[in-house]
């Protein structure tokens, strides 16, 4: 047992360390790519961009290097950063509200919902650009999430771990069949869809970043506000009720927060499996179960992991690149399996 103030100091210094790591990754993400740029060039480009009156993405570029940084790498890095943070926090919330260490947005049908409505908009409205279909993907996540949570809590109202995962699988398979039907009859939709579904931060311009930013910021604020209530819920529904918590309302607030974070990030960069699952587990080893610490830690680790996976995807497959969704599945699946093999974590 550590002394409370010592634990607090450890958590604060951990937070500081993570911020430094994140800053390093942001710089690396801007510097590393098909065309290597010298640190000085990157610094100049960044300094010029940040000092620009019209905002960092809007300035006229002075050189090719600056154009690469400004038009491609800066929006890409910003998008990876906020999406990773949102997915990490969403994962912590999903696991907290369901009291299930194996829950994550991909397993719960949120991604399949986003995929279905995104594909539908590509087919029916001919959308090809992310900033067009983003709202449809968002709505799809919300609807699928509501159905999965609803079905798995009918009866006992408990949303047991296995029934949540399986309700997610059922909704996922149904929506996947519908999505398949769409992309089968329309080759144009297939061509847009296959690059969205793999999960990638490349090729999204700054408009996508600005569109999802408000939702993710509001979502993260809501997540921080939800943390104390989530701590009480973790004592069990009855105890929480005894302490004056409105369990149903707290859960509904949580679901809205999850949809804002996970739905927003998925709409912007495509379905990313495993990030939301893995990040809270890493965070918990440092913070313990207290959600007031777990949530900010999950945000920073999520951002760092997505950035790192995106950078790794650019390095391992040079001169091309491996999409960040693929990189994370390759890293995440073995982690998930190792987690399941640890008997302690598997509770039904």
Partner 1 sequence: MLMLVLALAIGVFGLFCLDIAVGDTHIPIGRVLDVLGGGGSRSQRFIVLESRLPRALTAVVVGAALGLSGALMQSILHNPLAGPDILGITSGASLGAVAVLIGTGGATTGLIATVGTPLAALAGGLFTAAAIYVLAWGRGHGGELGVTGFRLVLIGIGVNALMVSGISWLLTQATLTDAARAQLWLTGSLNSADTSKVIPAIIALGVVAVVALSSARTLAALRLGEETTRVLGVRIQSQQALLIGSAVVAASVATAAVGPVGFVALAAPQIARMALRTPGEPLIASALTGAALVTAADIISRTIVPVDLPAGIITAALGGPFLLYLLVRMNRKATL
Site residues (vs partner 1, CB under 8 A): 102, 106-107, 151-152, 154-156, 160, 162-163, 165-167, 169-171, 173-178, 180-181, 183-185, 187, 190-191, 194-195, 197-199, 273-274, 322-323, 325-326, 329-330, 332-333, 336-337, 340-341, 343, 346, 348
| 148: Cα separation from own chain's centroid | 19
Q: How many CB atoms lie within 10 A of CB 344?
A: 7
Q: Using alpha carbons only, how large is the chain's radius of gyration in Å?
A: 20
Burial bucket for residue 185 (CB in 10 Å: 0-12, 13-18, 19+)? exposed
Report DSSP letters for 103-140, one per residue: --TTTTTHHHHHHHHHHHHHHHS---SHHHHHHHHHHH
Our CA angle for 197, 304, 215, nearest 5°, is 60
To the nearest whole angstrom, how small is the minimum distance from the Cβ of residue 231 to partner 1?
27
User: Among residues 60 and 334, whose Cβ is nearest to partner 1?
Assistant: 334
User: Is the Cβ of residue 224 or residue 333 nearer to partner 1 in the bound state?
Assistant: 333
Find out whether 328 and 103 touch, Cβ atoms under 8 Å. no
Quote the CA–CA distance of 209 and 70 in Å, as a whole number: 13
Q: How far is the CB of 150 from partner 1 (least distance, A)?
A: 10
What does residue 243 show for φ and ψ, rounded to 5 degrees? -85, 5
| Cβ proximity to partner 1, 36 vs 337, nearer residue | 337
Least distance CB 246 / partner 1 (angstroms): 22
CB of 348 to partner 1, least distance (A): 7
Q: Which two tokens stand for residue 24?
A: 């390093």
Cβ 233 vs Cβ 199: under 8 Å:
no
Smallest distance, Å, CB 127 to partner 1?
A: 17
Q: Which is nearer to partner 1, 116 or 215 (CB)?
A: 116
Give me the least distance between CB of 113 and partner 1, in Å please. Answer: 12
159 or 227: CB nearest partner 1: 159
- For partner 1, the closer CB: 30 or 107: 107
């Amino acid at each position: 047992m550590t002394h409370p103030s010592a634990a607090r100091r450890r958590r604060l210094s951990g937070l500081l360390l993570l911020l430094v790591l994140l800053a390093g990754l942001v710089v690396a993400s801007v510097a590393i790519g098909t065309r290597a740029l010298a640190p000085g060039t990157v610094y100049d480009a960044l300094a010029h961009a940040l000092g620009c009156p019209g905002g960092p993405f809007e300035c006229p570029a002075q050189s090719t290097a600056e154009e690469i940084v400004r038009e491609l790498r800066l929006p890409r890095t910003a998008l990876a950063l906020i999406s990773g943070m949102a997915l990490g926090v969403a994962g912590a919330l999903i696991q907290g509200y369901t009291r299930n260490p194996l829950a994550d947005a991909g397993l719960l049908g949120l991604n399949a919902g986003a995929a279905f409505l995104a594909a539908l908009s590509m087919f029916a409205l001919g959308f090809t650009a992310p900033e067009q279909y983003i709202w449809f993907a968002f709505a799809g996540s919300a609807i699928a999430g509501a159905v999965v949570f609803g079905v798995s809590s009918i009866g006992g109202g408990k949303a047991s771990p296995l029934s949540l995962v399986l309700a997610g699988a059922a909704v996922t398979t149904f929506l996947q069949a519908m999505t398949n039907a769409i992309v089968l009859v329309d080759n144009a939709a297939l061509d847009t869809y296959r690059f969205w579904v793999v999960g990638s931060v490349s090729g999204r311009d700054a408009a996508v970043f600005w569109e999802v930013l408000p939702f993710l910021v509001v979502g993260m604020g809501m997540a921080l506000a939800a943390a104390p209530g989530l701590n009480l819920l973790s004592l069990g529904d009855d105890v929480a009720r005894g302490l004056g918590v409105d369990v149903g309302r707290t859960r509904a607030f949580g679901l809205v927060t999850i949809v804002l974070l996970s739905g927003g990030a998925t709409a912007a960069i495509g379905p990313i499996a495993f990030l939301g699952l893995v990040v809270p587990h890493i965070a918990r080893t440092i913070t313990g179960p207290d959600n007031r610490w777990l949530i900010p830690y999950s945000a920073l680790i999520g951002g760092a992991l997505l950035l790192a996976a995106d950078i790794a995807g650019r390095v391992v497959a040079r001169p091309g690149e491996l999409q960040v969704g693929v990189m994370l599945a390759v890293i995440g699946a073995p982690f998930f399996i190792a987690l399941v093999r640890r008997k302690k974590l598997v509770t039904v």
